Each structure stands twice: as C-alpha cells, then as structure tokens.
Structure 1
Amino acid sequence: MSAAAALRAALHAALGADAPLLAALGGARIYDVPPAAPVFPYVTLGDAQVLDWSTATERGEEHRLTLHVWSRQGGHGEAHRIAALVQEALHDAALPLAEGRLVNLRTTGAEIRREAGGRTYRAIVRFRAVTETT
C-alpha cells in the first residue's frame, strides 16, 4: 500500500468514526464511490494530487486532497454545517497510517456551491497533508 492509499483509508476511517458527522449525515454515508442512488446528505472522497516533498535526508510526499459534501436540504446551510464537521474531524488530526507517517493534515479551504439544476448543493473541502516514508 502506498502512503497516498493509506492516507485515503485513514481519512475514510476517521470520518466514519466521528459521531457528530455521522449524526449530521444520518449514518455512515461516507463514500469513495457513492452508490447509484445515494441518500442525501453524504460525503465523498474526491481527487488527490501527490507531490514529492523529500528533503536531503528524508523521503516524503505532499498530498492535496479534496472531499465533497452533497446536500439536497435546500439552501447552503446543511452543506456549510457538514463541511465544518468534516474540517473539525480532520484538521490537525493525528491519523495512524498503514504505510508511512502522517506529519500534518491541514484544511486549506472550502467552497460551497449550488450544482446545475439548482436542487443539489456541494461543499468542496480541501486539505493538505504531508507524509514521510518510515
């Protein structure tokens, strides 16, 4: 398993163990790939970018991660609340990885928008993580 895959698995596990987030979602609706007809609201793990972050003495990677919150409650409110819970669950979290070591995990921003059709709202929550090879 790569550090990137291990980080993704750790993010999924951390979100799935966060009681306030699960309460807001109405259950463990956190997906890598959502079902064909998902129940709203839910969270998906989105795109990732992995960059070399090695130093002269240590091997490492920088990960730029995107998570998505999907809501159909009407208005931006639910998407904002759940995006804040995702940020609280992961920002500065000390997640154990199956491969490598997580140096840090930080929220870098969030964007909430209405999707085409006007019924669905999506919060795009961005994170930056650094891992070291152990």
Structure 2
Amino acid sequence: MSADLALQKAVHAALAADAAIAALVGTRLHDNPPDDVVLPYLTLGESEMRDWSAGESAGAEHRLSLHAFARGGGRTQVKSILGAVRAALHDAALTLEGHALVNLRFLDAETRREPDGTTWRGTIRFRAVTEESAVGP
C-alpha cells in the first residue's frame, strides 16, 4: 500500500474513533460526501506527497487537509470541530500499514463563510513524514 493511502486510512480511523469528534459530527466523516449530506460533517480534503528519502531509507513528506462544514452553529461550531481534529491528530502516534509515521504536525487552520451565505467551512492542514517499514530479513 502506498504511504499516502496508508496515512489517509490511519487518519480516518483515528478521527472515526475519537469521542470529541463523534460528539460534534456523529458518524459524518466522509472521504467523498454524499449528495444528501447532513451538516455538520467532516471530510478528508486535499493531499500531497513528496519524496523525503535519506540515504538507504525511503520516506515521504505529506501535506493533508480536512474540511469541516456547519450551518446552524456557524463559525463557532466549525472552530470546535477543527479544534477536536487538531487534538486528535497533532503529534498522534498512528499505525500505518507498511509504513512508519515519523511525525504528524498541525500547520494551520482557517474558517470562512461559503457563497450560499449560511454555510461555514473550516480547513485544517497537517504535515506528516513517513518511512517505509522494514520488510523481512
């Protein structure tokens, strides 16, 4: 499995298991939100991966985003969701299939009103470094 997919799966699993996030969005954590999605919800956003190999060690640097959407609770609700995401992921010791997570760090967050005038979107970004796990003798 590629490092970026392994990281995505581990992030999704960590967020799905987090009680604070469940209290804010329930089970509405999506990779690709359905057309009839109910707000508030959290979705996996953009991701980038770059080579971060050193010597004999294969590694990757990742940048990933998550998006929170809310309507009734406005900016406050979105900021609460982003805070829970940061608490769940910043410096988390996630287990990745076939790879080791060296670090996972919060980069930044922003909130803004969507063009419909009633929906708020929050975006939170993280940087991670992974290394390939050793395979057999």
Same fold per superposition (TM over 0.5): yes
Identity score, percent = 51
Alignment-mate amino acid for residue 83 of structure 2:
A
- Root mean square deviation, CA, Å: 0.8
TM-score, structure 2 as length reference:
0.94
Distance (whole Å) between structure 2 residues aligned to residue 42 and residue 74 of structure 1 = 12
1:74–1:119 contact (8 Å) kept in structure 2? no
Deviation at 1:99, TM superposition (A): 2.0
Residue of structure 1 equivalent to 2:47: 48
Match in the other structure for 1:18? 18
Q: Kindly report structure 1 stretches of 4+ aligned residues shifted beyond 6 Å.
A: none
Work out whether residues 63 and 128 of structure 1, in 8 Å CA contact, stay in contact via their aligned partners in 2. yes
Pairwise CA distance, 1:74: 4.5
Amino acid paired to 1:23: A
What SS is found at the alignment partner of 2:56?
Answer: coil
1:58-73 correspondence runs (5 A): 58-73=57-72
Counterpart of 1:46, as a letter, is: G
Paired with 1:53 and 1:84, the residues of 2 have a C-alpha distance of 29
Q: Distance in 1 between matches of 2:42 and 2:73?
A: 17
Gaps of 5+ in 1: none
Write the mapping of 1:1-134 to structure 2, written as runs, cut at 5 A.
Answer: 1-25=1-25, 27-134=26-133
* Aligned residues between the structures: 133
Residue aligned with 2:74, SS:
coil
Post-superposition offset of 1:57: 2.8
TM-score computed with the length of structure 1 as normaliser:
0.96
